[in-house]
Amino acid sequence: MPIKIDYKKCCWKNGKCSSCGCGGACNGCVEVCPVNALKRGKKVEYKESECISCGACVSACKHDAIELI
């Protein structure tokens, strides 16, 4: 089961944090993903083929921007 990212809620826009000031110290979805399926580019990029549906990113996101679908 893959995840869905709500880019309206996600703070990471155009390669930087737009609201909460997490910057490189953010302990969010990218940091907790055990298989590196997420990375911060211009937006948070998700590689579905790597995802093991663990749900860690959903819990880690402080902006409720990720859900398991």
Site of interaction with ligand SF4 (CB under 6 A): 3, 5, 10-12, 26, 28-29, 32-33, 35, 37-38, 44, 51-57, 60-61, 63, 65-66
Residue 11 C-beta: closest distance to ligand SF4, Å: 4
- Per the listing, tokens 């549906």 go with 53
Residue 30 C-beta: closest distance to ligand SF4, Å: 6
Residue 3 C-beta: closest distance to ligand SF4, Å: 5
Q: Which pair of structure tokens corresponds to residue 18?
A: 């737009």
CA-closest candidate to residue 25, choices 62, 65, 58: 62
Please name the helix (run of DSSP H) or strand (run of DSSP E) that holds residue 59, with its range, or none.
helix 56-60
Give the residue at shortest CB distance from ligand SF4.
Answer: 28
CA separation for the pair 8, 65 (Å, rounded): 8
